[in-house]
Amino acid sequence: MSDLPPDLPRLRTLRTWHAMWVHRLDEAIATAERQEAERARGLARRPPPPDWLIEGAAGRPPIYVHVGDCPTAGKHTRAAVMEEARRALAEGVEACPHCRPDTELGVLD
């Protein structure tokens, strides 16, 4: 027993309807592939994170020193080189308790 209609007009209607959906699916797949390729290109071109970050708003004293890829670093951060991060820790800026840059820098109290 077939679940398709026996007459030619309805079969052609179903064929047209399914062809339309296959075309829509092909377009959606192509769009998703383009977006994925664009995302991959963006990730490949993204510069690496800095080695160290110093957190603090402009014009105010720094709050924390972070390892460059620390997920808890705030919005107001700036990149720092190793010596600058060490100097900030020596001057009393707190080390982030999450990423522990003082351990990685070898600067412990």
Q: Are residues 96 and 60 in the same domain?
A: yes
Residues in the chain: 109
Predicted confidence (pLDDT) at residue 1 exceeds the cutoff of 80: no
Q: Are residues 40 and 59 in the same domain?
A: no
Q: Are residues 20 and 37 in the same domain?
A: yes
Residue numbers of the domain that contains 32: 1-46
Q: Are residues 62 and 33 in the same domain?
A: no
- What's the pLDDT at 84? 94
d(CA 72, CA 81): 19
Q: Are residues 70 and 85 in the same domain?
A: yes
- What's the pLDDT at 40? 97
**What are the pLDDT digits (tens) for 67-99?**
999 999 989 999 999 999 999 999 999 999 999
Cβ atoms < 10 Å from Cβ of 75? 6
Indicate the number of domains in the chain. 2
Q: Are residues 62 and 97 in the same domain?
A: yes
